[in-house]
Amino acid sequence: MPTIPWTKLADAEPGAEVVVMASRLEVRSLRHVPGFLRASLVLLRQARAADGALGVTLRAEPLKRTFWTLSAWRDKKALYAYSATEPHRSVMRGKRAVMRDSTFVFWEAEAGDLPIDWPEAERRIAEN
């Protein structure tokens, strides 16, 4: 599956600081890839409708059993509200058993720097 391109969801105030979150998620086995991919698309749909979401993108590397997310949020409160809301909360709880490694990084950026590109997200994840 190719990368789902950055989708701009809302504008932030010019010059505003926004919260960026990038993740790298690896499942234990190739047999877990289809279910995790379906779950990822459900959560992408949820993020696109979430209050405070400014932009999102998803990249899947099925043969490597790896999924990447990159999103920008108005503030931490909006990001945490999304992650605590259904279906995100239940999906992630249910997928813990099939996860091998997960890395999450958070940083602040200026709204004018959006969208953040994948090389920047990968660099920050590698440094974590």
Instruction: Report mean pLDDT in 10-residue bins for the chain, 128 residues.
Output: 89 93 97 95 96 97 96 97 95 90 96 96 95
pLDDT of residue 85: 95
Neighbours of 62 (CB within 10 A): 14
pLDDT of residue 48: 97
pTM of the model: 0.94
Segments making up each domain of the chain, as ranges: 3-127
3 state DSSP class of 16: coil
CATH class for the region spanning 3-127: alpha beta
3 state DSSP class of 4: strand
pLDDT of residue 2: 73
